[in-house]
Amino acid sequence: MIIGVASGKGGTGKTTIATNLVAAVESDVRLLDCDVEEPNAHLFLKPEIIETRAVGTFVPEIDIERCNFCGDCVDLCQFRAIVLLKDDVLTFPELCHSCRGCQEICSQNAVKDSSRELGTIRIGRKNGIAFTEGRMNVGEAMAPPLIRAVKQTEAACDTTVIDAPPGTSCPMIASVMGSDFILLVTEPTPFGLHDLQLAVETVKRLSIPCGIVVNRFDEGDDGVFTLAENENIPVLLKIPFDKKIAETYSKGRLLVEENPSWRKPFAEMHRRIENIVKGNRA
Amino acid sequence: MKELVIVSGKGGTGKTSLTAAFAGLSDRAVLCDADVDASNLHLIMNPQVQNQFDFLSGHSAVIDPQRCSQCGACIDLCQWDAIDNDFAVNDLQCEGCGVCVHLCPENAIDFPINKAGDWYISDTRFGKMVHAALGIAEESSGKLVTRVRKEAKRIAEADRSDLILTDGPPGIGCPVIASIGGASALLVVTEPTMSGWHDAKRMLSLANRFGATCMLAINKFDLNLEQSAIIEKNAEERNVAVVGKLPFDPLFNKAMMQGKTIFEYNGYSTTCSQVEQLWNRITDKLGL
């Protein structure tokens, strides 16, 4: 079972929920940190890193000896990553989306595979929890190929939890696509509600069942609860505003370790998600 | 004319609440919301839209079943698994690369221009505002950010305004890179948490690569004094000025609930005077 943890608005508690969830569940679990621009889960889980590897994405390399300067690749490229000069062909790797169209359309077999580094993947373990993180290079703009690479790392486990980036654009979609369930973490403020609405619309378009976690539920109004009721989305967990919780977070510690009474609600949420997913498959 | 862009790396540190507060303190700055993906500034600014524009960007593949021979070439070519076995394109997955369009032997795939969102020029009680709404699951957020920033600049020039206040997006990727290029200075808003500072450091490195001048504000500094001290020391080592420290104060949330800036909600609070001091230091640095 794959659970995506997403939010719309940033700073609502995605990482808190994802890390405490994997720490509270008894079965074989794995955490994928797909917030590759700002990966934070490692700060809380503190895994031992076993493997680090660079992740690249395809970019074309033009074999100028073979090129007949027909310009087909230039016409095809939607991202203006290839420019034809009088007796040369320039490529702009940072504009390339790795669609391989230039390679497919070239009649002279002049487009070779090359690669551009996007970031790194770090694989590790903490107790029974398998951990994989994507970390985009600073200055890099293209997150989705790295996110897909994180998701392609193999591991046998019962539950995979994905910590997704904020927003509802391509990096968030790339992260939660293929999940069996999406947990939307929100806060009961006008900002939280506005971005939750966007996230709910996104999840509907993906046709994935979802549930809501309301963080700092007592510091706001009832807007997000009304939305949950109207949309028929279960509220699976409510976390109060508590200076102790905020402090635990600020120190990079897990709530379920600092205060073990939190294990039960997280494990219970996992069980409820499991039931929803099973019911959906049946 | 100057442009101050408010960024953070990590989301939820208080970018938008501070941008709104600054809007009330500045003298008719042009407001620009560069968080086009999950924009929030309008919830406080209550903009009256004067002009709405379609944001057209890229194309989407559409297979015409009448012309399609179901040969499967497009499915093999697509790097995004966007075409299902019934030869329908999933527009959430389509990258708009056009490979299937160009290489379909039956010429059965159309490639209409994609409307990726809307952008607006509005009036607010603090002056003009340029903002946008990117469509769900769209890409090219960077291009839309560039669009709204360009428009804000045009308006500021026409109105002889000396400042653009830009509320930036979280992260350090495509929309953030588009938000900071050419800015006069960045205000990085962080919080005294391990993740807050981890993310702010990546933001500072990005700014450094683009040669952008940074100032740092620590929000909710009293949540963890030890971590706040680490941040201050670290900032100093990096030669980044800490222009203010703000306490944790429910005032920000209370004001937001009513669609107000903190000054409109309770201008007499000590937090407000601290924000005002912060703003004075920023305008000094900007040379305003």
Question: What ipTM was reported for this prediction?
Answer: 0.95
Whether residues B257 and A221 touch (CB distance < 8 A) is answered with yes
Residue B11 C-alpha, separation from nearest chain A C-alpha, in angstroms = 4
How distant, in Å, are the alpha carbons of A63, A217, A228, A257, B203 from that of A3? 44, 22, 19, 22, 28
Other Cβ atoms within 10 Å of A106 Cβ, number: 21
DSSP A168-232: SSHHHHHHHTT-SEEEEEE-SSHHHHHHHHHHHHHHHHHT--EEEEEETTTSS-SHHHHHHHHHT
Residue A119 pLDDT > 90: yes
Nearest CA among A167, A165, A162 for reference residue A194: A167
Other Cβ atoms within 10 Å of B65 Cβ, number: 10
Residue of B nearest to A216 (CA): B253
Which structural domains are found in chain B, ordered by start?
Answer: 2-56+117-286 (3.40.50.300), 61-111 (3.30.70.20)
pLDDT tens-digit profile of A153-182? 977 889 999 999 999 999 999 999 999 999
As a whole number of angstroms, the distance between CA B109 and CA B100 comes to: 7
Residue A155 C-alpha, separation from nearest chain B C-alpha, in angstroms = 22
Most confident of A83-87, B26-30, B62-66: B62-66
CATH number of A57-117: 3.30.70.20
Q: In chain A, which among 62-81 make CB contacts under 8 A with chain B?
A: 75-76, 78-79
Residue B151 pLDDT > 90: yes
Using the Cβ of A119 and the Cβ atoms of chain B, whether some distance falls under 8 Å is answered with no
Using the Cβ of A142 and the Cβ atoms of chain B, whether some distance falls under 8 Å is answered with yes
pLDDT tens-digit profile of B94-133? 999 999 999 999 999 999 999 999 999 999 999 999 999 9
> In chain A, what percentage of residues exceed pLDDT 90?
95
Strands (E), B82-159: 109-110, 113-124, 127-134
Residue B137 pLDDT > 90: no
pLDDT tens-digit profile of B200-229? 999 999 999 999 999 999 999 999 999 999
Nearest CA among A205, A206, A211 for reference residue A7: A211
As a whole number of angstroms, the distance between CA A96 and CA A47 comes to: 34
Greater pLDDT, A281 or A142: A142
The mean pLDDT of B26-36, rounded to a whole number, is 95
* Beta pairing, strands B48-59 & B113-124: antiparallel
Whether residues B16 and A37 touch (CB distance < 8 A) is answered with no
pLDDT at A154: 79
Whether residues A250 and B98 touch (CB distance < 8 A) is answered with no
The one-character DSSP state at A282 is -
pLDDT tens-digit profile of B236-273? 999 999 999 999 999 999 999 999 999 999 999 999 99
> Is residue A31 very low, low, confident or very high in pLDDT (cuts 50, 70, 90)?
very high
Using the Cβ of B46 and the Cβ atoms of chain A, whether some distance falls under 8 Å is answered with no
Residue B181 pLDDT > 90: yes
Residue ranges of chain A assigned to CATH 3.30.70.20: 57-117
- Both tokens of A165, joined, read 């980036």
As a whole number of angstroms, the distance between CA A184 and CA B8 comes to: 22
pLDDT at B53: 98
Q: Nearest CB to A251: which of B93, B134, B194?
A: B194
Using the Cβ of A218 and the Cβ atoms of chain B, whether some distance falls under 8 Å is answered with no
Q: In chain A, which among 13-52 make CB contacts under 8 A with chain B?
A: 15, 37-38, 40, 43
Residue ranges of chain A assigned to CATH 3.40.50.300: 2-55+119-281
Whether residues B97 and A136 touch (CB distance < 8 A) is answered with no
Whether residues A43 and B198 touch (CB distance < 8 A) is answered with yes
Using the Cβ of A138 and the Cβ atoms of chain B, whether some distance falls under 8 Å is answered with yes
Chain A CB contacts of B200 below 8 Å: none
pLDDT tens-digit profile of A178-218? 999 999 999 999 999 999 999 999 999 999 999 999 999 99
pLDDT at A27: 87
Using the Cβ of B257 and the Cβ atoms of chain A, whether some distance falls under 8 Å is answered with yes
pLDDT at A280: 85
Residue A23 pLDDT > 90: yes
CATH architecture of A2-55+119-281: 3-Layer(aba) Sandwich (3.40)
pLDDT tens-digit profile of A37-84? 999 999 999 999 999 999 999 999 999 999 999 999 999 999 999 999
Nearest CA among A186, A215, A38, A20 for reference residue B197: A38
Q: Which of A58, A98, A250 to mutate to test binding with chain B, by most B CBs within 10 Å of its CB?
A: A250
Q: Nearest CB to A136: which of B97, B173, B210?
A: B173
Using the Cβ of B117 and the Cβ atoms of chain A, whether some distance falls under 8 Å is answered with no
> Is residue A26 very low, low, confident or very high in pLDDT (cuts 50, 70, 90)?
confident
The mean pLDDT of A145-154, rounded to a whole number, is 94
**Burial (CB count <10 Å: 0-12, 13-18, 19+), residue A143:** buried
pLDDT at A212: 98
Q: What's the mean per-residue pLDDT of chain B?
A: 96
Q: What's the mean per-residue pLDDT of chain A?
A: 96
> Is residue A281 very low, low, confident or very high in pLDDT (cuts 50, 70, 90)?
confident
pLDDT tens-digit profile of B32-74? 999 999 999 999 999 999 999 999 999 999 999 999 999 999 9
